[in-house]
Structure 1
C-alpha cells in the first residue's frame, strides 16, 4: 500500500471504530464506495492496525488464541462442552451469537448457511443493524429442526434487515434440475450476492452419517464415491479434502447453494463445529481458506490441539 492508502485506512478505521460512523456515512464523507470502506477495514484488521479483543463469559480466550496461532486462523472461540449434544450445541450457539453481533455492522452483506447450531444462535443474536442477509443454501429439512428457509424468514422479521432467499431444496434430483433452479431470477440473484459478502456464517460437518446432514440424504454409491475422492468434510453441501481443496463428485452438480470458491473470497467466514470428530474438517477448512474464524467446543478444541501443526 502507498502512504496515502495507509493514511486512508487509518482514517477510515478511526471513523468506524472510534467515532461510530457507519460504512455508508464514511463512504459518503470520503467520496469512496462502501465496498472500499469494507476492504480498508478488513485490511486494517489483517495488518494489525486495528485489534479487537472479545472476552465473552464462558469462552476460553487464551486457549482459543493459542490454537488460532497454531492453525493460522484469525480467531478461534472455545465454548464449554455440555453434558449432551443439545447442551453443547447451545453453548456453541451462544458463542456464535456473540461473535456475530460483534462482526456484523451496519451496511454489511451477510451470508448465512443453515445448521442446528446456526438456527439456535439466531435466538441469541437479538436485533441486527441494518444489513443484507443472503441465504447461502437451499432448504434441507431435518427432523426436529427447521431449515434455511425458516431461518431466512426469521431475519426478514428484523427491522432494517433485507433478505435474499433461495427458494429451492439444497439437493435436487439431478444436475439439470439444479442448473434450472440456479437460473431462476430470485435464486440467481441471491447466489450472485455470495460473490460480495462481508461476512459469512457456516457450519462444518465431518463427512460421515453422524455429523453431516447431507451424508444421509444421498445414495450409498455417492457416499462411497465422495469418500474415495478424498472428502473429509462438508460445508453447505460442498465437499473438501484434508487440504481444504474442493472435491468434485456428482453430488456437487445437484447442490443449490454457495460454492467453496465464494467462501474463500469472503473477507471473514465464521465456521462452527463441535465434537472431536469434526476436528479434521475444521482444520481442513482453515487450511483451504474456507473459514478464518472458528467457534468450537472443548472436545473439538482438544482434538484440534492434537492434530494441529506444532
Structure 2
C-alpha cells in the first residue's frame, strides 16, 4: 500500500478510511456505531468501506485448503468417466498436500464404509496419511492386496492393514511377501503358502479397495525405484506410464506386461476390475497422466485428489 494519497485525497482522508475499515473488518463494529463514534454519516462510512476494498487498503483472502471443491470434482468425474470424485483445495509443499488429500480420503472411508465389508488396501505415502487420520471405522475385514516393496516399514501395506484393523476391530489378512520376484515359479510358490493363500482367497470378496497410483513419467512411484534395471527398461520400452497394485499400465489404458504380473504377489487386473468400489488416492499434478491411464483401464471407480492434479487432468483433456 502506497504511503502517498491519491490525487485530491488528503492524509486525513486516508487515515479516516483506514480507521473505518479497521473498525468494520477487525472489530466487527456496526456501521451505524462507526458513524456515531467518528461523527460522520453512515453513508460516508459505507463509501469509505467500499473504497477501502477498491483501493486495496483491505484485501480479503479465503483459506480454503483441505476444503472439497464439488464443481471441480464433478468436472473431473465426467472427464475420467468414473463414479465418484473428491477434490480438495490443497496448499503447501508435497507433504502438506499429501496430508490434506489423506484427510479427505479418511473422511470418505469413515462415512461410507459399512459393517461387514471387506476392505482391500495397498500402500503408499498418501495412504499412510489416510490411515493415520482415520477417526473411526465400522467393523470390516481388512485384506492386503499386494506384497511389499523395500522401504520404510511405516508406509508398508503390512503396517497399514494392521493400523486399520485396530481401528475397525475386524479380522486382518496380511501378505508377508515381496510384491514381485524374479520368476513365475517363485511367485506361485509364495502364493501357495497357507497364510498368503488365506489373503488371496479373499480378493474376490473385496467390496472396497483403496489404492495409490504411481507415475512413471514423470517418475513418482516406489515400484519403479525398486525394480531391477532390466524390468524398468522393458516396462518403459513398452510404454508404461502408471502402476497400481503392481499392475503396469500404458497411457491408453492397456496393460504393459502380463508376464511381469505373473511374477507379482498381488491382486490381478481382472480381480481388481470386479471390485465394486476401487478408490484411488493420489495428489500432485505430476500424476495426471497416470490417473488418466488407470481410469481408461477401468481399474478405478473413485478418486480422492487435490485441485492441482484435477486441473492438470482437465487441461490434458482439453478443458
Taking structure 2 as the reference length, what is the TM-score of the superposition?
A: 0.75
Question: 1:108 matched to which residue of 2?
Answer: 117
The answer as to 2:270 corresponding to 1:261 is: yes
Q: Deviations over 1:181-205 (max 9, x none)?
A: 1111221221121112111000111
Question: 1:77 matched to which residue of 2?
Answer: 86
Question: 1:190 matched to which residue of 2?
Answer: 199
The residue correspondences of 1:1-310 to structure 2 (distance < 5 A) are 58-143=67-152, 145-158=154-167, 160-208=169-217, 210-248=219-257, 250-308=259-317
Question: 1:34 matched to which residue of 2?
Answer: none
User: Which moved further from structure 2: 242-251 or 276-285?
Assistant: 242-251
User: Which moved further from structure 2: 93-102 or 156-165?
Assistant: 156-165
8 Å contact 1:152–1:165 — kept in the other structure? Answer: yes
Could you list the structure 1 runs, at least 4 aligned residues long, displaced by more than 3 angstroms after superposition: none
Aligned length: 255
Question: How big is the shift at 1:208?
Answer: 4.6
Q: CA RMSD in A?
A: 2.0
Q: Structure 2: which 5+ runs fail to align?
A: 1-64
Q: Structure 1: which 5+ runs fail to align?
A: 1-55
DSSP-derived class of the 2:133 partner: helix
Change (3 A) 1:159 1:79: closer
Question: How big is the shift at 1:172?
Answer: 2.5
**Structure 2 CA distance, aligned partners of 1:101 and 1:208?**
33
Question: How big is the shift at 1:168?
Answer: 0.9
Taking structure 1 as the reference length, what is the TM-score of the superposition?
A: 0.77
**Structure 1 CA distance, aligned partners of 2:150 and 2:87?**
28
Question: How big is the shift at 1:128?
Answer: 1.4
8 Å contact 2:240–2:249 — kept in the other structure? Answer: yes
Question: How big is the shift at 1:144?
Answer: 8.0
8 Å contact 1:201–1:270 — kept in the other structure? Answer: yes
Question: How big is the shift at 1:160?
Answer: 3.0
**Structure 1 CA distance, aligned partners of 2:269 and 2:318?**
24
Structure 1 or 2, whichever has the larger Rg, is 2
Question: 2:53 matched to which residue of 1?
Answer: none
Question: How big is the shift at 1:242?
Answer: 1.8
